[in-house]
Amino acid sequence: MQHLEEKYYRIDEGEKEELLSEEHRGKGLGVNALFGAYMVLIFSLVILLPKIYLASNIYYVSRDIAKLQTQENLLKEENHRLERELEDVRFKYLMMNLN
């Protein structure tokens, strides 16, 4: 009985070769699919690389602008302080000359 069951499960060499050759033929992408994948990749790079470059440049320029605005505000405050000191010195000079 066991000998009969083994008979149905066995495959001869020709069938093995045929199955293996079908497995190897079915694997991989076709030339058209590979070409299409490369075209999608190239198109994506053409679209995305300039966007990344521009976004990066905008970030660095805006960072520089913020730094310059901070420096401008500091210089304006210093200018106001110096103007007040000058006004105080003028006032003291006038007071000394009036006496």
Q: What is the pLDDT of residues 31-81, one digit of tens each?
A: 898 899 999 999 999 999 999 999 999 999 999 999 999 999 999 999 999
DSSP state of 99: -
Structure confidence at residue 16 (pLDDT): 73
**Could you tell me if 37 and 29 are in contact, meaning their C-beta atoms sit under 8 angstroms apart?**
yes
Query: What is the spatial distance between Cα 2 and Cα 88, in angstroms, rounded to a whole number?
Result: 117
- Quick one: pLDDT at residue 8? 59
pLDDT over 60 (residue 30)? yes
Whether the CB-CB separation of 57 and 64 falls below 8 Å is answered with no
